[in-house]
Structure formats: C-alpha cells, structure tokens
Amino acid sequence: MRPITPSHKHKITVLVIDDSALVRQTLCDILNSDPEIEVIGSAGDPILAAEFMRTVVPDVITLDVEMPRMDGLAFLQKLMSQHPIPVVMCSSLTERGNETSLKALEYGAVDIITKPKMGTKRFIEESRVRICDAVKGAAVARLGKMRAMRTMREVQPKYTADVIMEKPNSNAMIQTTEKVVVVGASTGGTVALRVFLEMLPEDTPGIVIVQHMPENFTTAFAKSLDSNCRVTVKEAQDNDTVMRGRVLIAPGNHHVLLKRSGSRYYVEIKDGPLVSRHRPSVDVLFRSAARYAGKNAVGVIMTGMGDDGARGMKEMFDAGAVTIAQDEATCVVYGMPCEAVKSGGVDRIMPLQNIAHEVLRLCS
C-alpha cells in the first residue's frame, strides 16, 4: 500500500487497487498524466485498501476484478453497503473477467476499463483517454440515481463524425415508412438500458444501441440483456439486419452505422479513430440514422459523461427524426443529454421510465 499526500485540493483523487504491481504503476502513471486527476494511493488487495481508507477517502476507486484475500465483487458489495464510493472496475479480457465486471455494474460499479497494456502509440493514447474519462465520469456520477434505476427495473484530438462519414443532406432516403430506433448511452447506461429494454414487447421496431464499453464486454452485456428481455438482443455484426424484435449493440472498439438497401435497414461495423473521444461513438450512429432513416428514425440519448451524441442528435432532428433525451432527475450523469438539449436537437425530455412507452407510441 502506498499512500500519497494530495497536492491539489480540487483534483479528482483516486485509489488504485490491483494485485499486480506493474498494473498499479501503469494506472497511476496514466491517471496522474491528466491534470484533473491525482492518485493518492495504491493497494495490492482490498484489505490493504480498507486500511488506507480509514484515514483518507478517495473520490474514485479503480478496482481489480480478481484479487487474493478478497475478490473485487465481494469488496464492492461491502463498500456499497457501508460507504458508497464511485468504483471503476479494471478487468482483463477474459470471459470470466467480462462476466464478473458486468455483475459489478449491477452491484453498483459505475464503469469498466480494461487493464492497460503496451502497444502502438495510438493504442496507448486511446487507452489513456478511455481510462481518464471513466474516472472523470465516475467522479460526478450520482450513485443514488443508479440505485434508483435498479429499483425502477425491479418494479418494472477530438474528432467528429466527419472522419467516418459525410454529413447527411436533405436527400436522405425516405421511401420506407418502417421506423428504426437508435440509442446512445455512457456512464450509468448499462442499468438505464436494462430498464428501457425490459419494458419493450417482442414486436418492438428494430433498435441499434451504442453503449460506451470496452472491447469484448459488449458480447457479455448483450447476452445478459437477451436473457432478461422479450426482444432479442445481440452484439452487432457487419451486415446484420435491423428488424422488429431485435436489438443490436455496437461492439466495443468499433463504430456502428445504420445503413439501408431498399426497404432493408442493416448495420455496418467500421474501424476508425475515436470520435467525440469514443469508439463506438453515438455521434457516428446518429449521423448515419439522419442520413439513411431521416424522419423514420427515433433517437434516444441517455445518461453519460461528455458530449458524444449531441451533434448527431441535432443532425437527426434537422433530418426530421423525433429525438428524446433522458431527464436530469433520472440520469446518473447528466452530461450527454444536457449537451444534446443545448444543441437544440431534442424534441422532448423525459424520465427514464417513460422513454420505452414514448418510443412505442412514436413508432406505432
């Protein structure tokens, strides 16, 4: 355990918990490279972390999934029941790690990051962006809203999308009347999406979703949703058809675009740079919906940190689509919906529990 005296009162303070000394050091270096973040300590397991927190309480904890003496899930459950602190889970890309991290999100963790590893300059920089953004999002997350959403469910250089595709024009294809729904979410979105999707009937119009998650985690997330929803949920693959009763989740680390051939909607999976600091990017999905679905699209933007989706939603709005933003009261982080509202591209603002009904009404 390595306590550090914080030097700047207004920085986001972080405690790093991981049994690997190399991972701890790498995470500390990455987080300390951001002027808004300061690591105040690191610990090799939750027992040492608990001792540290008797004297200093961090704003955010990064928590390894699998550790000796006490695993990450057990520590998370204990923490959330006794002294809730925003937690970002740090996982390897193993199948077990994916499943455990998804459970952690259900137990109260705010976000997931993958363990940093060396690679190309672009890979390292993108990892840094993802890790630092996850911590910043966690720092402003309202944990009470996450608990409320789970209760609600039980009761019921910065790029733009120009780098992926050109802006839509007034000639967006409009020959079909079939509706399609596109959804974007980030911090807090895994719980919000469960609430939304579990309210939908089997014949719901086709839905495409971007949820900011690391690569491989989206596969497990889609399977988890599929087992609890009446609609079919799967991780999107290139050329998958968007059809009634099916929900497609953008694969982590890839952009997803809505396309159309005649009356058939389908998705295209693409690589490319981070857009609005993300890949997949909500802006990319929304822009493609503006171009290929136009007024036949319904756009929904949910809880999340940052402004990804704001520009794309305005383009959908300008193309005649109906656009919905989750309201501040039910958001874990009122960042993305707020920016979309500011852009002038939102038709209606409503609480999470009302969005599914409104989407169905608009598509009827």
Residue 61 sits at φ, ψ, to 5 deg, of: -120, 135
Alpha carbon distances (Å) from 173 to 64, 83, 292, 332, 363: 47, 53, 6, 36, 18
Write the DSSP assignment of 81-129 as a string of letters. HHS---EEEEE-SSHHHHHHHHHHHHHT--EEEEPP----HHHHHHHHH
Q: What is the dihedral of CA 353, 359, 360, 361, to 10 degrees?
A: 100
Strand bridging mode 37-43 / 2-3: antiparallel
Catalytic-labelled residue, pool 42, 186, 276, 281 = 186
Q: How many residues does the chain have?
A: 364
The predicted model scores a pTM of 0.85
Question: What one-character DSSP code corresponds to residue 350?
Answer: E
Q: Are 188 and 310 in contact (CB under 8 A)?
A: no
The pLDDT of residue 188 is: 94
288 noted as active-site residue: no
What per-residue confidence (pLDDT) applies to 97? 63
Tokens 């937690």: give the residue. Answer: 87
Low-confidence ranges of the chain (pLDDT < 70): 1-9, 93-97, 118-120, 147-160, 163-165, 167-176
Instruction: Please tell me the predicted confidence (pLDDT) of residue 173.
Output: 47
Domains and CATH numbers, the chain: 2-140 (3.40.50.2300), 161-363 (3.40.50.180)
pLDDT of residue 169: 59
pLDDT at 338: 98
Helices 143-155 and 189-198, axial angle in degrees (round to 10) = 20
The active-site residue out of 101, 133, 212, 278 is 212
For residue 255, indicate whether it is catalytic: no
32: its two tokens: 């300390």
18, 133, 240, 308: the catalytic one is 308
Known catalytic membership, residue 307: no
pLDDT value, residue 93: 62
